[in-house]
Homo-oligomer: A and B are copies of this chain.
């Protein structure tokens, strides 16, 4: 009904009433009014998602993103019916909206709230999965697509299209991962799968550049080294840029001490610097996701401790809220867009082919991921002496399963490759778009629904607790945590307990990551914190006695 109103509205009045001018621009005003109608409906749907998501909180299957996806699908049906089968969405899908506005707050918040110790302890495994794993998956999916789709006569697809399919479907969707894995319940799984999702963004950029500049059918050894070099260059520059932006914000806030005058200024500078780091990465053709993720990590380690207590509470929850709204927005949008009739029209005459393509893609995703999770986990386990630190087979299955979801990132990339400004006229392209939508919906809904129960089945809570050092895993979030102390105590352990000095070579060899951590702590306390602030190194601590008592303690290496 509302969406049909555009024509009616034109006769109601040429303008929003807010502006004095615009008396002679009726057509402009009409399209503006239509966009206001859309925005109203969209914001109202977001509110509905929050309320319904809250009511379904206790459900063991649902999560907020699937709720939003279903509400989006239902709304899409209503819009489709009321518009007489013309349209099913409120906005035309825009990659800009997605990559420039919705994705950065989600990834930044993930970096800001991540359990740093858990993340860096598994750092090598994460990079292995994100770099080598994604490359393996890309190769398998591309190779499979070339061989199978060419025989199926899907349409006029070129080599570039097949490689794009490989790149689109080889990347884990970090936004989906955030939805189904809980950092408190399964910290190891979360840090591995989500970390992989962040790192593989850099891999995607490298693959994309390789597809453009190399002849992938005849790759030489020097080309391969070139690619590996590219990956490390990109990975390191992106990380350094993110960390640099975070450190700059910490330094500026520590030096100028904004809080003296205004909390708002501190919060504003944190938001703007984080966003600037993402945009700078885009400017220099780096991986924005990796940059903003590390910016979030550095900000939570240094900057966050330099601001007033009010700013701390505000940033913690404001970033989480922004991320939450962006996630809902994405899933609601994907649900609504899935029914867009224009693309389905091409497929109408051959529904079997579309279903076939979707099933093959899903199969390739399953196989491609399986081909790297298990071998790489085995490799990773070889480097670990301690039995407790190895990735068990059950955990490997979960890592494989939890990373199968393909979400809005895949959608955005598929739109980018196979449409021009959201429209397509080629049959092959239309089939690829509808298949991507099918894969995204199926994997998000089915794999997403099954993940939670699967985690519970394979890693029962009691075992979970003892193995993974999670703190109070099943209680609802807000009651567990006091006002400020819910920044997990492990991420930045009390620095002042007596330390096991790793003097013996055996200890050094047995626990290399702990040794790195030990020297990092030393360096951090001696050089970084005095310059950039951080816990216990702020000039003025506004009334949090717990923070001051931390001063005289010694860094603790393990928990």
By a beta-carbon cutoff of 8 Å, the part of chain A in contact with chain B is 12-13, 15-23, 25, 32, 36-37, 39-40, 43-44, 46-47, 50-51, 53-55, 57, 95-96, 99-100, 160, 164, 167-168, 201, 204-205, 207-209, 211-212, 252, 256, 258-265, 267-269, 271-273, 275-276, 279-280, 282-283, 285-289, 308-311, 313-314, 316-318, 320-321, 324-325, 328, 412-418, 420, 476-479, 483
- Name A20's closest neighbour in chain B (CB-CB): B167
A-B contact pairs, 10 of them (CB 8 A): A18-B201, A18-B288, A21-B164, A21-B418, A36-B100, A43-B276, A259-B478, A260-B479, A263-B317, A268-B324
B20 touches A208 (CB 8 A): yes
Complex Cα gap A95–B32 (Å): 11
B314 touches A318 (CB 8 A): yes
Residues of B within 8 A of A412 (CB): 19
A310 touches B308 (CB 8 A): no
CB distance from A281 to the nearest CB of B (A): 9
Complex Cα gap A260–B54 (Å): 10
Complex Cα gap A311–B483 (Å): 10
Complex Cα gap A115–B420 (Å): 52
B272 touches A483 (CB 8 A): no
Besides the known contacts A15-B285, A50-B272, A264-B320, 20 further A-B residue pairs in the complex with CB atoms under 8 A apart = A17-B205, A18-B201, A18-B289, A20-B211, A20-B417, A21-B414, A23-B211, A36-B100, A36-B283, A37-B283, A43-B276, A46-B272, A54-B265, A260-B479, A261-B476, A263-B478, A271-B321, A313-B313, A314-B317, A317-B318
B325 touches A99 (CB 8 A): no
| Top 10 closest pairs, chain A to chain B, by CB | A21-B417, A21-B416, A17-B285, A314-B317, A20-B167, A318-B318, A267-B321, A313-B313, A264-B321, A264-B320
- Of B57, B168, B318, the contact of A261 (CB 8 Å cutoff): B57
Instruction: Among A96, A282, A321, find the residue whose CB has the most chain B CB atoms closer than 10 A.
Output: A321
B321 touches A310 (CB 8 A): no
- What's the number of copies of this chain in the assembled complex? 2
B478 touches A308 (CB 8 A): yes
Residues of B within 8 A of A46 (CB): 268, 272
A268 touches B325 (CB 8 A): yes
- Name A212's closest neighbour in chain B (CB-CB): B23
Residues of B within 8 A of A204 (CB): 18, 20
A309 touches B483 (CB 8 A): yes
A264 touches B317 (CB 8 A): yes
Complex Cα gap A269–B275 (Å): 24
Complex Cα gap A15–B477 (Å): 41
Complex Cα gap A44–B476 (Å): 39
Q: A50 and B483 in contact (CB under 8 A), knowing A20-B164, A260-B478, A317-B263?
A: no
Residues of B within 8 A of A208 (CB): 15, 17, 19-20
CB distance from A52 to the nearest CB of B (A): 11
Complex Cα gap A12–B208 (Å): 15
A317 touches B321 (CB 8 A): no
CB distance from A150 to the nearest CB of B (A): 20
B40 touches A279 (CB 8 A): yes
CB distance from A237 to the nearest CB of B (A): 12
B324 touches A264 (CB 8 A): yes
Complex Cα gap A144–B422 (Å): 51
A273 touches B417 (CB 8 A): no
Residues of B within 8 A of A283 (CB): 36-37, 40
B256 touches A51 (CB 8 A): yes
A275 touches B43 (CB 8 A): yes
Complex Cα gap A269–B46 (Å): 9
